[in-house]
Amino acid sequence: METHEPYHYGLIARAISALDAGGADMSLDDLAAKLGLSPAHLQRVFTRWAGISPKKYQQFLRANLARDLLASRHTTLDTAAETGLSGTGRLHDLILQWEGMTPGAYAAKGAGVTIRHGLFDTPFGPAIVMATDQGICGIGFTSHQDPALTYRDLASRWPSADFQQDGRLDSQVQAAFSGGPARLHMIGAPFQIKVWEALLAIPEGQVTTYGDIARRIGNPAAVRAVGTAVGRNPIAYLIPCHRVLRRDGGMGGYHWGLDSKRHLLTFEAARTEPPVISRVIG
């Protein structure tokens, strides 16, 4: 998948927000006018990045997405590829390689580690992104709160690390959100990392539940603890905690804002066209 100019990330984020606020009757012409673009240019850029048209995205956005996904694309993870739990996960065309902290490094709380960070545009809104020399260690969306709060949230995972603002992460951010290879450096206790490994095994366009993850990691009674670990995922989007729903079909919570979760699920559902949801756009 090709990478695009940073401008397109901001454009996609603005387009998604406008579609969300514009209701079912917003036309391509109306959307283009809001963004100050020609309809043809908007259609071309949006479709090139997302693989779907703005209209198709809009149709999925207004569907009862969580309920329909749980009914049509629910995975229990019983048949998930073992490679997804042994070091390599696949998120659409994005190849992820991850490395968990050693117990000693976790106990040291990041002492001796340098973490570079910055605020970047992404297709799903602005986000704080952090990285160690081993890879991306934090992505937190900021559209639901002051960016300073998101920064403090992510930085608190490494209280003894040295933090340095660095805009040179831009190439890593672009690769992460456009299908390039990405390395992740997971930051968490052993139980948390075990849960995050399970999240990496959920295919794009599919969803699971907290109970399914608890069973998948061999601790079916730990549903509440799993929920807490999912909520503490420090790497939004790449570790897809947005794919976890309540058993009753509710959207559930999302640490980085429910609007971001809905946009992520809508984007992935529209790209993969689950059969049940396809009736909405018939």
Catalytic residues: 241
Q: What's the token pair of residue 106?
A: 């976790």
Spatial CA neighbour of 1 closest among 175, 123, 140 = 175
Q: Which DSSP state fits 102?
A: P
Spatial CA neighbour of 230 closest among 205, 204, 255 = 255
Contact 3, 175 (CB under 8 A): yes
DSSP states along 155-179: HTTSTTSEEEE-GGGHHHHHHHHHT
The whole-angstrom separation of Cα 196 and Cα 193 is: 5
The whole-angstrom separation of Cα 209 and Cα 109 is: 30
The whole-angstrom separation of Cα 262 and Cα 143 is: 13
The whole-angstrom separation of Cα 77 and Cα 246 is: 15
Contact 47, 53 (CB under 8 A): yes
Q: Which DSSP state fits 79?
A: T
**Nearest-5° Cα angle at 74, 70 to 76:** 135
The whole-angstrom separation of Cα 128 and Cα 111 is: 21
The whole-angstrom separation of Cα 126 and Cα 173 is: 11
